[in-house]
Chains A and B, each alone.
Chain A
Amino acid sequence: MIQEYESDVVVVGGGPAGISACLQLYSMPGLKVTLLEAEHEPGGIPRTCGPGFGLRDQHCFRTGPSYARHLADLLGKTKVQAYTETTAVSVTPGKDGEPHLVETVSPQGCSKHFCTSLILATGCFESSRESRLIPGDRPAGIITTGTLQQQVKARQLKPGSKALIVGTEHVSLSAVLTLKRAGVELAGLVEQAARPLTYPAAMLAFKTFYRFPVYYQAQIKAIVGKQRVEGVLLDIRGKERLVPCDTVVMSGRFRPDTALAETAGLEMDPASRGPLVDQDFQTSLPGVYAVGNLLRGADMHDLCALEGKAAARGLILAMGQDRQPAQAQVRVATRPPVRFSSPQFVDLSKIDLTGPAMAQTCSIQLAETLSNPVLKVWSGANLVWQKKYRLLVGRTRIVLPLVCFNLSAIDPETGLLVTVG
């Protein structure tokens, strides 16, 4: 028998963003909240991560697993109905104020969850070797950091004996730690750009302490090995070099896991590859919200958690009001090397110093690390805001303070354009 349930809010995804949304929603008395989690326990990706969790949302400094347990414990103390090992397979948006329908599958059977509002927090994953178009053979031994952590942290398995890491993002350093913990020798890091996509000081510290080479301006010409990886052929500024290794870790280049969002027919932003949202994290469908790394790939867990909370607050405030789609607001566009803006729509009327901080910002990412850049925000020919920086790290969150914008110079029809020079 297909079970049917009704809730005020269904949250899909029990990671930092989803759990935080639940915790915030629970503060509203009488609200019936359901959390759907595909894994056997809530907590999300931090369950297999290293240290440095909880700073900005829980005001603590924990390891990933401890942070995940902490969030799960907080969740357990609420009346939020959490279903684990329950995969949401499709979303059918309710038309004209009808409830939204989320269909799920679990070992107990299939279920239908009807809800007034829906928060999607399905997270992200690292781009695969295949989708990065990295040429060469297709042997075993090519994994993402995500898989590496599943092998080492959740299963105590050693992925190989010598590993090359592709990428220099924050998560690449996390891969270094995990490989070291598993007793895997490091063959080095490979980066296409001329500089790391993490803080240079952090990279220097890791490099010095763990002693590995970092190949900048390096392209992978081929992964070599028929059955298992035997090496990676690099092209470093025109010079070829074969790096022997039996493991290649694809780190970073996160992309949103939009499989479920696509079933709902949410409008997507080709730049962020996630759903389009407004300042309250509402998507193109009224009453359907998207938070956390589903929006754009990996940002820090605690920022995702804060987004979950902010969305929940916005959702509570919007209850009982007419559902307004995101497009009714000002579009924030970007020009490369700015990768995207999140949210993609801002509501100028909500910008004031007294409102909740999270709903007052817009975040962007750059494709590469830049020295002495100037960020500029335009509305047509009008310069709305600009700021000079000493260093901006690529693929890392940069916050634009909307309250500092010259609001009178914004033409809502034209929208905003973020550039960097």
Chain B
Amino acid sequence: MPGCQAKPWFSKGVDLPEIQQADVVIVGGGITGISIGRELSRYQLSNVVVERQADVAMGVSKTAGSLIYMGLFQAASLAIKDLSGQGDLRAETETERMRLLWQGFQDFDVLAHELDIDHSHVGVLFLARNKEEEDQLNRFSWLAQHIPGGTLTQLNREELFALEPNLTPDAKRGLIDTTGTISVFGPEYVIALYENATANGLQVLLGTEFIGLEKCPEGLLVQTSQGPIQARYVLNCTGKYADYSADRAGPGRDWNLSFYRSQALILDKSRAGTISNIVGIPPAPGKIDWLYPLGEGNIHVYGSNYDHIEDRDFTATTREHFDDAIKRMQALVPSLTEKDVITSYVGVRVFNDKSVDEHLIESPQGNPLFLNVLVRMPGFTPSPPLARKVVGILADKGLNLEPKEEPFQTTRSAIPRFRFMFQNERDRLIDENPAYGRIICRCEQVTEGEIVEAIKRGATTLQGIQFRTRAGMGRCQRNFCGAKIMDILARELELAKQDVTYKGPGAELVTGGVAS
């Protein structure tokens, strides 16, 4: 759109002409791209992330399972993702990938502390209802011992119900891992990294699509929907669109992606406390049956299979999957009902066919300056060491890693979480800024102050506000606050209300004015 004013979703802090040149261009603003961008921002380099969507974490990162995990859950994850059922799971515990997972798991607590990411350690409890499941339990108990991070305890029926009194009465015994899993809200994690990375000089262009790549004397010329950027190295971190991006960069792709979909439910906070650990049955390949009690009090229900899909954008929910999930939820905790559901979502998992058990990080033939970064899921847990590894690969390719003269800013503080504060803390905050005294989202107790702060930090859409503050994520799902948040976005971004969107251009909330 020549001559058009940069829309607020377009860029953060920079206009394109200033960054016609970059050392590294990262395509994709999910957990992988932003983690690498943050890692690169430690050095005397100019780095740019281009993200097609209106915000970061809008792809697979948005619907990832929200856990950082090792131990028993990692053992379960190996089993679930062993879709052929033929894999050697024991061997998988000794891969390079497992080493990165363990490193990432160990890094997380410090990172969460430095970046003020809300998180909580949560137990993982598998129950067995029959002989077959008991055998499975034993198998997982054995497998999990080869994975670091977990602390396993066998539970007899009495101990099981002492911990989780609401479980299905046909549960016979259980296995719990009390140290191997941390719950976190995925988008919040990515946003925290994003805020910290941009404070350290990373440039992020939102609403900017990667179109193609040309070679030029200085290196590469990255064509984007907002104009060209000259770069020395280009990384493809586009998750489920990695094949498209690779093809846009040039020929030589010798791998394909396949996609698996699963549907999840989120339950009302009024059911908080119904379970206190992640509970589930030992999974079979492609099958997930578990309930997560998340930090904010909502239970996430995964009662789903990995359904193979051809259309990677098939993220619509279906009636059959709702019915299935509710049946499987009640098989674990019978007191939960359909009435407790406040929302639902679909996650898509991506696998490549070239490197089944490992991350695929390589340049195509004839284009060593372009690097595909295909993460073998899970992607959140290994992201910090994976980012370091990718930066190391770039260094091997000749990128000069000279630390910056000014110190790297390691910390970032979260937007105040009004809902967790004591009244005297709240009163002090309101005294400084009365907007913190205006509750906009009543279900989640989110204030105008938090919403304005989220906009200052880069939120430009209703969903951006949601992910940064939780406004609109409660049981009424924006019934009371949707219009008010639209008002605040329009006011702060100086937009007409019909230009305010739910999740980027094309998702406008209203279409115009009413003739009086």
A128 touches B344 (CB 8 A): no
Q: Which of A125, A133, A156 is close to B479, meaning CB atoms less than 8 Å apart?
A: A125
Type the 1/0 row for A129-154, where 1 means its CB is closer than 8 Å to any CB of B.
Answer: 11101011111110110110011101
Within 8 A of A (CB), among B328-378: 338-339, 341-345
Q: Which residues of B contact A87 (CB under 8 A)?
A: 439, 442
The A308-367 residues at the B interface (CB cut-off 8 A) are none
Question: Does B157 have its Cβ within 8 Å of any Cβ on chain A?
Answer: no
Looking at the complex, which one of A110, A141, A151 makes contact with B430 (CB distance below 8 Å)? A110
The CA-CA distance from A72 to B290 in the complex, in Å, is 50
Q: How far, in whole Å, are A154 and B486 apart by their CA atoms in the complex?
A: 13
Chain A residues near B256 (CB-CB < 8 A): none
Chain A residues near B317 (CB-CB < 8 A): 135-136, 138
Interface segment, one of A205-213, A221-229, A298-306, A411-419:
A221-229
A222 touches B437 (CB 8 A): no
Nearest neighbor of A146 in chain B, beta-carbon distance: B479
Most A CB within 10 A of own CB, among B503, B504, B507: B507
Q: Which of A63-71, A158-166, A284-292 forms part of the interface with chain B?
A: A158-166
| Nearest A residue to B443, CB-CB | A259
* Contact call B514/A227, Cβ cutoff below 8 A: no
Is B515 interfacial (CB 8 A cutoff)? yes
Which of B439, B443, B498: most chain A Cβ within 10 A?
A: B439
Contact A221 B319 (CB under 8 A): yes
- Interface check B509, CB cutoff 8 A: yes
The answer for the CA separation of A216 and B351 in the assembled complex, in Å, is 43
B416-473 with Cβ < 8 A to chain A: 423-424, 426-427, 430-431, 434-435, 437-439, 442-443, 445, 447, 462
Q: Is the CB of B511 within 8 A of A159?
A: yes
With A87-B442, A133-B344 as known contacts, state yes or no: A156 contacts B509, CB within 8 Å. no
Q: Which of A129, A137, A140, A155 contacts B508 (CB 8 A)?
A: A140
On whether A105 and B322 interact (CB within 8 A), knowing A131-B477, A226-B313, the answer reads no
Any chain A CB within 8 A of the CB of B502? yes
- Which of B443, B475, B497 is most buried by chain A, counting CB atoms within 10 A of its CB? B475
Distance of A85 Cα from B423 Cα, bound (Å)? 17
Is B476 an interface residue when CB atoms closer than 8 A count as contact? Answer: yes
Question: In the complex, A340→B221 CA distance in Å?
Answer: 67
In the complex, are the beta carbons of A228 and B506 less than 8 A apart?
Answer: yes
Give the chain A neighbours of B515 by CB distance below 8 A. Answer: 183
B510 touches which of A89, A139, A159 (Cβ 8 Å): A159
Instruction: Give Cα distance in the complex from A258 to B270, angstroms.
Output: 10
B422 to chain A, nearest CB (A): 9
- On whether the beta carbons of B322 and A161 are closer than 8 Å, the reply is no
Please, which residues of chain A bring their CB within 8 A of the CB of B217? none
Query: A358 → chain B, closest Cβ, in Å?
Result: 28
Q: CB < 8 Å: which of A1, A105, A133 contacts B426?
A: A105
Please tell me if the beta carbons of B442 and A140 are within 8 angstroms of each other in the complex.
no
Does B505 interact with chain A (Cβ within 8 Å)? yes
The CA-CA distance from A128 to B478 in the complex, in Å, is 8
Expressed in whole angstroms, the Cα–Cα distance for A129 and B479 within the complex equals 10
Say yes or no: is A73 at the interface (Cβ < 8 Å to chain B).
no
Interface residue ranges of A93-140 to B (CB < 8 Å): 103, 105-110, 112, 125-126, 128-131, 133, 135-140
Would you call B319 and A135 a contact (CB within 8 A)? yes
- B-chain residues with CB within 8 Å of residue A294 when the two chains form the complex: none
Q: Which chain A residues (65-95) contact chain B, with CB distance < 8 Å?
A: 85, 87, 89
Q: Find chain A residues with CB under 8 A from B509 CB.
A: 140-141
A377 to chain B, nearest CB (A): 26
Question: In the bound complex, how far is the Cα of B237 from the Cα of A419, in angstroms?
Answer: 61
CA distance A139 to B343 in the complex (A): 14
- Our pick among A112, A139, A158 for the contact of B512 (Cβ within 8 Å) is A158
Q: Which of B341, B474, B511 contacts A161 (CB 8 A)?
A: B511
Residue B2 interfacial (CB < 8 Å) = no
A227 touches B505 (CB 8 A): yes
What CA separation (Å) do A128 and B443 show in the bound complex?
Answer: 13
Would you call A131 and B342 a contact (CB within 8 A)? Answer: yes
Chain B, Cβ-Cβ closest to A157? B510
Overall SS of chain B's interface: mixed
Given the known interface contacts A87-B442, A109-B427, the answer about A131 and B507 at a Cβ–Cβ threshold of 8 Å is no
Chain B positions within 8 Å of A181 at CB level: 514
Contact with A along B256-286 (1 / 0, CB 8 A): 0000000000000010000000000000000
- Max chain B C-beta neighbours (<10 A), residue from A108, A150, A246, A273: A150
Return chain A residues, CB-CB under 8 Å to B423: 2, 103, 110, 112
Closest residue on chain B to residue A223 by CB atoms: B316
Known A109-B431, A154-B483, A221-B319: A228·B508 in contact at CB below 8 Å: yes
Q: Is the CB of A105 within 8 A of B514?
A: no
Contacts known (A143-B482, A161-B511); A222 close to B316, Cβ less than 8 A: yes
B501 at the interface (CB under 8 A from A): yes
**Least CB separation from A258: chain B residue:** B270
- B341 and A133: CB pair below 8 A? yes
Closest chain-A Cβ to B279's Cβ sits at a distance in Å of 22
Contact A137 to B510, CB < 8 A, known contacts A2-B427, A126-B479: no
- Give chain B residues whose Cβ lies under 8 Å from the Cβ of A103: 423
Q: Is B17 an interface residue (CB 8 A)?
A: no
The yes or no answer to A240 lying at the interface (CB within 8 A) is no
Nearest neighbor of A2 in chain B, beta-carbon distance:
B427
Q: For residue A182, which residue of chain B has the nearest CB? A: B514
Contact of A262 with B by CB under 8 A: yes
A146 engages B316 (CB within 8 Å): no
> With A130-B477, A139-B507, A140-B501 in contact, do A106 and B437 touch (Cβ < 8 Å)?
yes
Tell yes or no: B86 within 8 A of A by CB: no
Given contact pairs A140-B503, A157-B497, A159-B511, A259 touches B442 in the complex (Cβ within 8 A): yes
- CA distance in complex: A112, B503 (Å): 39
Complex Cα gap A146–B482 (Å): 10
- Say whether B435 contacts A107, CB under 8 Å: yes
* Cβ A130 vs Cβ B343 within 8 A: yes
- B407 CB–A CB distance under 8 Å: no
List chain A residues, Cβ under 8 A from B477. 128-131
Q: Which residues from chain B sit less than 8 Å from chain A, CB to CB?
A: 270, 313, 315-319, 321-322, 338-339, 341-345, 423-424, 426-427, 430-431, 434-435, 437-439, 442-443, 445, 447, 462, 474-480, 482-483, 487, 497-498, 501-516
Q: Which 8 A-B pairs have the closest CB atoms?
A: A227-B506, A128-B477, A140-B502, A107-B434, A130-B343, A107-B437, A140-B507, A227-B507
15 inter-chain pairs at a CB distance below 8 angstroms, sorted by A residue, are A106-B437, A110-B427, A110-B437, A131-B343, A131-B475, A135-B316, A140-B507, A154-B483, A155-B487, A156-B516, A157-B512, A160-B511, A183-B515, A227-B503, A273-B339
Name 16 extra pairs, CB < 8 A, besides A146-B480, A150-B482, A152-B514.
A38-B439, A103-B423, A107-B430, A108-B430, A110-B437, A125-B479, A135-B316, A135-B322, A136-B316, A137-B315, A157-B512, A159-B510, A183-B515, A223-B316, A257-B442, A258-B270
